[in-house]
Amino acid sequence: MSDQRFQALSTSTNYHDEKIVLACPQTFMNRSGLAVRHLVEYYKPEIRNIMIVHDDIDLDVGRIKIIPGGGAGGHHGIESVIYHLGTNGFNRTKIGIGRPRYNEPIEGFVLNPLYDDQKKTMKDVLHVVIQGLKSFILDGVEAAMNNFNSLTMRKKEVER
């Protein structure tokens, strides 16, 4: 459901006796930290219980990487979250989107659809991300990292 208080599409539920809030900011990406801050102020989770899922051009399509804390790595959405929360101590699930093949500008590349040969792989990746999030909720970030960071679902991509 859309909630103007949060500037996000969000819902909450219980999963294995844990309250879970899922949210998708409806701000511009470089202002997504504002939506996250509103959600954190309302629900008051411990920072170590927050998982931000985002794209990462430094990971190949077919890879995910779950990490606790860290820098923004040039990702403007993560920069915004760090700024608005005043900490980088939240967890992240990075979903690899790879780099442009055809010298497209990065800004355009990340906003455009995937290349056709990557779409099936990304669908598979998203199913694995869901399993990784379940692992994070039930067993913590270390277990999720150990179980999911070594997986690669990429099929052979078209050569440049």
Taking the C-alpha atoms of residue 157 and residue 143, their distance in angstroms, rounded to an integer, is 30
Q: Domain coordinates of the chain in residue numbers?
A: 2-148
100-105 contacts, C-beta under 8 A, 24 or more apart: 101/158, 101/160, 102/160
**102-123 pLDDT tens trace:** 999 988 898 889 999 999 999 9
**10-67 pLDDT tens trace:** 999 999 988 999 999 988 888 899 999 999 999 999 999 999 999 999 999 999 999 9
Give the H/E segment covering residue 55: strand 51-56
* pLDDT for the residue numbered 155: 53
Rg of the chain over CA atoms, in angstroms? 16
- The highest-level CATH class for domain 2-148 is alpha beta
pTM over 0.85: yes
* pLDDT for the residue numbered 4: 72
**130-158 pLDDT tens trace:** 999 999 999 999 999 999 998 777 654 44
